Structure 1
Amino acid sequence: MKQRLRIFMLACPLLCGTLTATAAPPTTEDLLNHSGFKEAYKAMITLPAWIVSGKGTSTPVEYVKQNGKTYALGHMCKPHDCAAQQLELVLATDHSGSWGLLSIKANNALKQTVLGSPTPEIEKVLRDAYTKNNPTD
């Protein structure tokens, strides 16, 4: 019985505190402004350095037309690791926007992240470019 009471007394601050607390739980924004959470959040949204700097192994661009506008379509990858990290990029030649498809392979799994909220047509251009640049996938 004493052992059970001791376990309860040790656990009570953790369990009882959350059950009887009258303060409202923090908001997501509150958590993201606290040390620890802030750093973890920044790490989650950070792009690889080769993408941020725009300094990767790249190929000459192609020009494509969509809905009467001209776009530059480019391909870039992480130096010395092209098979694992690639970026397809569409740049509006009038400088009105850019969109990307980041592809990262790890442990035989492919994770693709669309960047810049492209239209469905531009996203198709990005995905088709990835397929063209990776014919064995």
Structure 2
Amino acid sequence: MTIKTLLAALLLGGSAAALAADTDGQFRLNELLASDPAYQETWQELVEDESRLPEWVMNLSGIASPMQGLDDDGDKYLVGQLCEAHNCFNQRLYVAFSWDKEDAYALYVQLPDGLPTDKAPSQHATLRWLGEPDEATQQLLQEQLRSDPNWY
């Protein structure tokens, strides 16, 4: 590699990291589709082939925490969580948009209503993948789920 190529690679990597840092906390899933038509188009392509999804999932209209930029083996994603407004613990969605906004993947987590507090949510959850994520992206989204202190 020439010095110019190396310098360009370092600058590009640094700007991507700065961009990721700048996006942390600025976006929420329930606002993302209105913020950029590219996100809306990518999400609509994802859900159009899925059956029996609730309206809040189809429209990403629930309660959302701030999204974060994450790097997974060189692939960059904007990742966030959303839950159904009146049933946040039992109905959750974890979403990862590729940095170029071309792909979206999601993990839809459902727990039975009335689950006793002495039952581990992880043992009674139904997990549904949306968008056919590869193994690395599945792990990325599962890590988001496992980071919830009420998930055991």
Output the TM-score relative to the length of structure 1: 0.64
**Residues 1-137 of structure 1 correspond to what in structure 2 (within 5 A)?**
45-106=51-112, 108=115, 109-137=124-152
User: Partners in 2 of 1:79 and 1:53 — Cα distance?
Assistant: 13
Q: Which has more radius of gyration?
A: 1
Unaligned ranges ≥5, structure 1: 1-43
User: Partners in 1 of 2:94 and 2:148 — Cα distance?
Assistant: 9
Unaligned ranges ≥5, structure 2: 1-49, 116-123
User: Partners in 1 of 2:105 and 2:151 — Cα distance?
Assistant: 24
Greater RCO (Cα-Cα under 8 Å, separation 6 or more): 2
SS in 1 for 2:132: coil
Structure 2 CA distance for partners of 1:134 and 1:78, relative to 1, 3 Å: farther
SS in 2 for 1:45: coil
User: Partners in 1 of 2:85 and 2:133 — Cα distance?
Assistant: 26
Output the TM-score relative to the length of structure 2: 0.58
Over aligned residue pairs, what C-alpha RMSD do you find? 1.6
Using the aligned pairs only, state the percent identity: 20
SS in 2 for 1:127: helix
Higher strand share: 1
